[in-house]
Structure 1
């Protein structure tokens, strides 16, 4: 972590940098969203058809028309079915496969810092080489933990905060998963308020585009990565 700053990096500085990176790479933000949602919806629709999820939804609608109790009973029954489990596995696999796409934006932001030419292929940097398996391994671990604690409401927020820097630490500094989480926790203790405010802004801005205008969401959805990179850049030092 940075120890050569006369004072903590301010929230304003990190937010300004995040918007700068995002605005500077809008074309690649759009590319990110098109690829992400293209793969996501293609996969979801394919596996939903394959495992009869649309038919299950129709059964739920019919049960809801009867009574709330009938709906709950039918939802419980369908949720325990073999096809529902297979669809859940396919959904998880899709999310895990898409995760390395975020790392491509980190590479693009770094190229902005270095004033290097950005190429479309940079967006897929997370899929290059054997490190791809490290990234999807982490993504699988992250989503499994998130799924287990999702119902608690508060714990998912804590989990996001505790792991917000893991991806750039793995990508830029080649840290292992638990080593990166430990460094993330140390940074969180020192910059809790800054990280919390930036995460809240990132979450609101990320989905604001969909709320105001659907097409706008294609540009705002990847903003999360810009704010993570801006915080990482100000909090951590890659000097050995």
Structure 2
């Protein structure tokens, strides 16, 4: 594997990413339905298990009758040990469904090869050892991100940006996690501004669907994967699986 030496323009990344995204709208919808329904089910279970939801129901009337007391009660809940345990378990819940993202990498390679795509390709991240590889990676990634984002917005964003190539490196190459992290940090460091711009674009567009009657989120949320794949293809010369 060699890092591509040519400069990549933002215009090129945007055009290529939108090409992948627009040609896989059906799979974007399926992905988002599975992703959010799974998180909602697991999240509701965790809220009940850690007795957070019942407490929120108890103080809900205060929202209109006594906003200050409501705010104080919410703050007490969020600083409780149970809420900390809940937050940690949300990372585990997200790690369970995270391998679903890998399916888009396979789908995009099939599109590049002009081969037929089917619904099973979306679940490539759950086949064989892939699930355990990406489940374990997200536990580490999500745990670090959880602490960084509590400091300021910037540390969390930088963690997202500098690890942007780790997932495709783990999928497309035989690298271990340490090697993938090292390479990702190196390539991002050498192409900081273009990757920073692409990361901001990906975040904005992925959540832009919320403003389209909210339903638009079902199509825009997975856009991040198209950005990652386009950047990865641009900076790495490897044989894709």
Task: Specify whether residues 171 and 207 from structure 1 end up closer, same or farther in structure 2 by C-alpha distance, changes over 3 A only.
Answer: same
Query: Is contact 1:60-1:75 (8 Å) kept?
Result: no
Q: Which moved further from structure 2: 218-227 or 208-217?
A: 208-217
Report the secondary structure of 2:181's partner residue: helix
Higher helix share: 1
Paired residues for 1:29-68 under 5 Å:
29-61=28-60, 66=66, 68=68
SS of equivalent residue, structure 1 residue 164: coil
Where does the alignment leave 5 or more consecutive residues of structure 2 unmatched? none
Match of 1:24 in 2: 23
Shift of 1:32: 0.5
Deviations 1:162-192 (A, max 9, x none): 1011100100113211211111111112211
Alpha-carbon distance in structure 2 between the residues aligned to 1:193 and 1:78: 36
Change (3 A) 1:24 1:70: closer
Structure 2 partner of 1:187: 187
- Taking the aligned partners of 1:78 and 1:163, their CA distance within structure 2 comes to 29
2:207 — aligned with what? 207
Task: Tell me the SS of whatever aligns to 1:115.
Answer: coil
Contact 1:56–1:78 (CA<8 Å) still a contact in 2?
no
Displacement, 1:115? 1.1
Query: What is the CA–CA distance in structure 2 between the aligned matches of 1:77 and 1:30, rounded to whole Å?
Result: 34
Hey, what's the Cα distance between the residues in 2 that align with 1:144 and 1:131? 20
CA shift digits 1:118-166 (9 cap, x unpaired): 1111111111112321111110000100111112221001101110111
1:150–1:156: 8 Å Cα contact kept in structure 2? yes
Equivalent residue runs for 1:106-145 within 5 Å: 106-145=105-144
Q: Does the aligned pair in 1 maintain the 2:47–2:86 contact within 8 Å? A: yes
Deviation at 1:47, TM superposition (A): 2.5
Q: Say if 1:181 and 1:50 are closer, same or farther in 2 by CA, change over 3 A.
A: same
How many residue pairs were aligned? 237
Contact kept? 2:29, 2:218, Cα under 8 Å: yes
Query: 2:215 is paired with a residue of what secondary structure?
Result: helix
Aligned to 2:11: 12
Counterpart CA distance in 2 for 1:219 and 1:212 is 10
Shift of the 72–225 alpha-carbon distance from structure 1 to 2, 3 Å rule, reads same
What residue in structure 1 maps to residue 91 of structure 2? 92
